[in-house]
A and B are shown apart, each in its own frame.
Chain A
Amino acid sequence: MSIESILIVLLYSAKPYLWLIVLLAAIPLISYMVRLNSPLLNQFQKIIVSFGIAILVALAAPYITMSKLQYVTTLADWGVLIAIMLAAMLYCWFILTLLFAGKS
Chain B
Amino acid sequence: MKNAINKYLSRMDRRRFLKLGIGASLLSTFPFQIVQAQKLNTNAHILIVGGGAAGIAMANRFSHSLQGAKITMLGERQPHIYQPGQILIAANLWDKSRVITQTRDWLADDVNWINKDVTAFFPDNKSVTLSDGQKLTYDVLVVATGCQLNYEHIEGMSSDLIGKYGIGSVYAGPDGAVNTNKMIQQYINKGEGKAIFTLSNTLIKCAGAPLKMAFTSLDRFEQSGKRDNLDVSFITPYKNRVFSVKYYNDFVLNRWQEQGLNFYDERVLSAIDAVNQKATFTKPDGSEENQEYDFIHVVPPMSAPDAIRNSELVWKSGAMAGDWVEVDQYHMQHLRYPEIFAIGDVAGTPFGKTAASVKTQAPVVEANVISFLAGKELKAEYNGYTSCPLITAIGKAMLAEFGYGGKLLPSFPFISPKEESWAVWVMEEKMLQPAYYAMLHGKV
* Residues of chain A whose beta carbon lies under 8 Å from any beta carbon of chain B: 1-5, 8-9, 12-13, 15, 62, 65-68, 71-77, 79-80
**B437 CB within 8 Å of chain A:** yes
Residue in contact with A67 in the complex, picked from B34, B35, B396, B435, CB distance below 8 Å: B396
Would A75 and B434 count as touching, CB distance under 8 A? no
Q: State how many residues of chain B have any CB contact under 8 Å with chain A.
A: 32
Determine whether the beta carbon of A71 is less than 8 Å from that of B396: yes
Q: How far in angstroms is the closest Cβ of chain B from A62?
A: 6
Q: How does the 8 Å CB contact mask read for B81-98 relative to A, with 1 for contact and 0 for none?
A: 000000000000100000
Q: Which residues of A are found within 8 Å of B421, using beta-carbon distances?
A: 71, 73-74, 76-77
What sequence of 0s and 1s flags, for each residue 406-444 of chain B, a beta carbon within 8 Å of any chain A beta carbon? 000001101110011111111001110011011000011
Contact of A66 among B35, B414, B429 (CB under 8 A): B429
Contact status A65-B426, CB under 8 Å: yes
A3 to B443, CA, bound (A): 13
Q: How far is the CA of A73 from the CA of B421 in the complex (A)?
A: 6
Q: How far is the CA of A9 from the CA of B438 in the complex (A)?
A: 7
B286 interfacial contact with A, CB 8 Å: no
B91: nearest chain-A partner, CB-CB: A66
CB distance from B279 to the nearest CB of A (A): 32
> Which residues of B lie under 8 Å from residue A67 when comparing CB positions?
394-396, 422, 425-426
B410 to chain A: closest CB distance in Å?
10
Alpha-carbon distance between A67 and B35 when the two chains are bound, in angstroms = 35
* Contact A66 B434, beta carbon cutoff 8 Å: no
* A89 vs chain B, min Cβ distance (A): 20
B443 and A8 contacting across the interface, CB-CB below 8 Å: yes
Contacts of A66 in B (CB 8 A): 93, 394-395, 429
Contact A73 B444 (CB under 8 A): no
Residue contact A74 to B416, C-beta cutoff 8 Å = yes
Nearest-Cβ distance from residue B432 to partner chain A, whole angstroms = 9
Contact flags B30-69 to A (C-beta < 8 A → 1, else 0):
0111110000000000000000000000000000000000
Beta-carbon contact of A1 and B411 below 8 Å: yes
How far is B3's CA from A76's CA once the two chains are assembled, in angstroms? 51
Q: Is the CB of A77 within 8 A of B443?
A: no
For B93, what are the chain A residues with a Cβ–Cβ distance below 8 Å? 66
CB contacts (< 8 Å) of B431 on chain A: these are: 9, 13
Contact B422 A71 (CB under 8 A): yes
Q: For the complex, is B393 an interface residue (Cβ under 8 Å from A)?
A: yes
**Assembly CA distance A67 to B420 (angstroms):** 12
Q: Is the CB of A77 within 8 A of B422?
A: yes
Residues of B within 8 A of A5 (CB): 438, 444
The proximity string for B residues 395-407 relative to A, scoring 1 for CB distances below 8 Å and 0 otherwise, is 1100000000000
Most A Cβ at <10 Å: residue of B394, B411, B435, B437: B435
Q: How far is the CA of A49 from the CA of B402 in the complex (A)?
A: 46
Q: Which residues of B contact A3 (CB under 8 A)?
A: 31-32
Give 1 or 0 for each of B206-221: 1 = CB within 8 Å of chain A CB. Answer: 0000000000000000
Which A residues are in CB contact (< 8 Å) with B443?
8
11 contacts between A and B (CB under 8 A): A5-B444, A8-B438, A8-B444, A12-B438, A65-B429, A66-B394, A67-B394, A67-B426, A73-B420, A76-B412, A76-B421
Q: Which 4 A-B pairs have the closest CB atoms?
A: A67-B395, A12-B434, A71-B396, A13-B434
A6 to chain B, nearest CB (A): 9
Residues of B within 8 A of A1 (CB): 411-412
Contact A9 B395 (CB under 8 A): no
* CA of A79 to CA of B412, assembled, Å: 14
Q: How far is the CA of A94 from the CA of B318 in the complex (A)?
A: 65
The answer to whether B444 and A9 have CB atoms under 8 Å apart is yes
Q: Is the CB of A13 within 8 A of B422?
A: no
Given contacts A65-B425, A66-B429, are A71 and B393 in contact (CB under 8 A)?
Answer: yes
In the bound complex, how far is the Cα of B414 from the Cα of A102, in angstroms?
44
* B-chain residues with CB within 8 Å of residue A72 when the two chains form the complex: 422
Interface residues of B in 235-253 (CB under 8 A from A): none
Q: What residues of chain B lie closer than 8 Å to A8, measured between beta carbons?
A: 438, 443-444
Residue among A62, A71, A73 with the highest chain B CB neighbour number at 10 A? A71
Once A8-B438, A71-B422 are accepted as A-B contacts, the answer to whether A76 and B414 lie under 8 Å apart by CB is: yes
Contact B396 A12 (CB under 8 A): no
Contacts A1-B411, A67-B395, A76-B414 given; does A62 touch B422 at CB 8 Å: yes
Tell me if A75 and B414 are in contact (CB < 8 A): yes
